[in-house]
């Protein structure tokens, strides 16, 4: 297959590129390196310094003999996206190329607009390029479980049949997201569903949970092939942050009561889920949604798992609840369905202490790089007037 990966320089994009390339597919990556710019602007360096994308592609070619093509440009520029599609002619497009952080989108007016313009306009340009030059290609779009929020009912996979006043219809599942970032993904989903309906495109929206992990088989094949691993308050996610906090001798920080539940999955399972989606494409005109996570944990449970794993490694980590910078339910019902990827053959790598220990062992190798001052939350959802 000819696989086009949008956001190929990112935490998931780069491991995905190597994964598909190693399996013999023709791979091209697209990136504008905005994420690196945003990281510099908010002072958030990855734990392990990252070679440029060009350099990683060269290392990969030297190691495997396989070429990964690279297009540098911005998805919000319609002509750039059109040129990439006309030039590469993808069979599958894996779209990670968006601003991925909820706190970043909540810094203020400018970042909220930047997030939504970047994500929504970029996605629209992808849709139009598909329609014009690759109408039979399959788009695998990274959405998020956060689109649904935490409703007091079971969460279905994208769609729900509603009976109302004696009539019924199959509709997109109601959305109640918790940040302008998560909202950008809701808008993407609505645009994609509409495009499938009117132009017969085929799309799989992967409503992914919080990803954790630092390594995949391919990132371990040679020095320099690593992916970006963040632990700061803006681009770092819960479990990754907790592991770094434990290694740094800092308290593990559940926000508020810590009863917030989320779906989680290992980075290795992300790659497999994306592969399963490409191997089993959506039908023409179908907007298909998979809830992509393997386990549900509360933030408190995660903190305890990390604390216990740290103890086994001789680290006496402490859990310290901090004031929640977000506006979110801290004690709630959470039951999302996640059957479709299992039906296609996903064999989850569950989170166990062993895995947490191996993550921490890797973090210990780079302990000297940890910057304590970028760990505590700096962005609040609502500034209280004093």
Binding to ligand USQ, residues 10-69 (CB under 6 A)? none
Shortest distance, CB of residue 212 to ligand USQ, whole angstroms?
9
Give the chain's count of helices (H) and strands (E).
Answer: 13, 12
Q: Give the residue with the Cβ less far from ligand USQ, 90 or 263.
A: 263
Q: Give the residue with the Cβ less far from ligand USQ, 7 or 146.
A: 146
Note whether 213 binds ligand USQ by CB under 6 A.
Answer: no
Shortest distance, CB of residue 316 to ligand USQ, whole angstroms?
19
Shortest distance, CB of residue 266 to ligand USQ, whole angstroms?
14
Note whether 209 binds ligand USQ by CB under 6 A.
Answer: yes
Q: Are 57 and 63 in contact (CB under 8 A)?
A: no
Q: Can you tell me whether residue 236 is helix, strand or coil?
A: coil
Q: Are 90 and 71 in contact (CB under 8 A)?
A: no
Span from 67-75, 120-128, 143-151, 356-364 in contact with ligand USQ (CB under 6 A): 143-151
CA-to-CA distance for 203 and 287, rounded, in angstroms?
A: 5
Listed in sequence order, the residues at least 6 apart from 277 whose beta carbon sits closer than 8 Å to its beta carbon are 138, 140, 204, 206, 290, 344
Q: Tell me which residue has tokens 């509409």.
A: 194
Note whether 159 binds ligand USQ by CB under 6 A.
Answer: no
Span from 72-80, 113-121, 257-265, 307-315 in contact with ligand USQ (CB under 6 A): 257-265
**How many residues touch ligand USQ (CB under 6 A)?**
22
Note whether 158 binds ligand USQ by CB under 6 A.
Answer: no
**Torsion angle, CA of 350/351/354/357, rounded to 10 degrees?**
150
Note whether 255 binds ligand USQ by CB under 6 A.
Answer: yes
What mask, x for binding ligand USQ by CB under 6 A, covers residues 168 to 187? --------------x-----
Note whether 238 binds ligand USQ by CB under 6 A.
Answer: yes
Shortest distance, CB of residue 100 to ligand USQ, whole angstroms?
4
30 bridge partner residues: 6, 71
DSSP code, position 374: G
CA-to-CA distance for 381 and 286, rounded, in angstroms?
A: 36
Note whether 374 binds ligand USQ by CB under 6 A.
Answer: no
Residues with catalytic function: 144, 181, 185
Beta-carbon count within 10 A of 376 CB: 14
- Encoding tokens for residue 182? 């998560």
Q: What angle do CA 81, 82, 88 make, to 5 degrees?
A: 90
- Of these, 44, 57, 112, 299, which contacts ligand USQ (CB under 6 A)? 299
Positions that interact with ligand USQ (CB under 6 A): 100-102, 144-146, 182, 208-210, 237-238, 241, 253-255, 260, 262-263, 299, 326, 328
């Amino acid at each position: 297959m000819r696989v086009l990966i949008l956001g190929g320089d990112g935490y998931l994009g780069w491991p995905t590129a190597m994964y598909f390339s190693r399996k013999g597919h023709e791979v091209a990556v697209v990136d504008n390196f905005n994420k690196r710019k945003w990281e510099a602007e908010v002072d958030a360096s990855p734990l392990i310094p990252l070679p440029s994308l060009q350099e990683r592609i060269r290392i990969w070619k030297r190691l495997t003999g396989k070429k990964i093509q690279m297009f540098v440009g911005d998805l919000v520029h319609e002509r750039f996206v059109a040129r990439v599609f006309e030039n590469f002619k993808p069979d599958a497009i894996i779209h990670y190329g968006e601003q991925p952080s909820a706190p970043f989108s909540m810094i203020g007016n400018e970042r909220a607009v930047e997030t939504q313009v970047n994500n929504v306009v970029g996605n629209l340009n992808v849709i139009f390029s598909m329609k014009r030059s690759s109408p039979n290609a399959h788009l695998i779009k990274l959405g998020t479980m956060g689109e649904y929020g935490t409703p007091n009912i079971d969460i279905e996979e994208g769609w729900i049949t509603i009976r109302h006043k004696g009539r019924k219809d199959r509709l997109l599942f109601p959305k109640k997201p918790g940040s302008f970032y998560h909202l950008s993904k809701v808008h993407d989903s609505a645009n994609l569903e509409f495009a499938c309906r009117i132009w017969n495109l085929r799309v799989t929206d992967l409503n992914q949970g919080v990803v954790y992990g630092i390594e995949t088989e391919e990132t371990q094949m040679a020095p320099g092939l690593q992916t970006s691993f963040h632990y700061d308050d803006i681009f770092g996610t819960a479990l990754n942050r907790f592991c770094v906090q434990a290694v740094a001798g800092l308290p593990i920080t559940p926000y508020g009561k810590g009863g917030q539940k989320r779906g989680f999955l290992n980075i290795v399972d992300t790659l497999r889920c994306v592969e399963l989606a490409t191997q089993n494409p959506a039908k023409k005109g179908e907007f298909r949604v998979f809830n992509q996570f393997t386990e549900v944990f509360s933030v408190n449970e995660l903190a305890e798992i990390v604390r216990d794993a740290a103890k086994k490694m001789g680290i006496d980590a402490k859990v310290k609840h901090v004031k929640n910078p977000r506006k979110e339910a801290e004690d709630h019902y959470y039951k999302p369905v996640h059957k479709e990827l299992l039906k296609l053959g996903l064999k989850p790598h569950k989170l166990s202490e062993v895995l947490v220990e191996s993550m921490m062992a890797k973090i210990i190798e780079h302990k000297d790089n940890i910057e304590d001052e970028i760990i505590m939350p700096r962005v609040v959802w609502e500034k209280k007037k004093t």
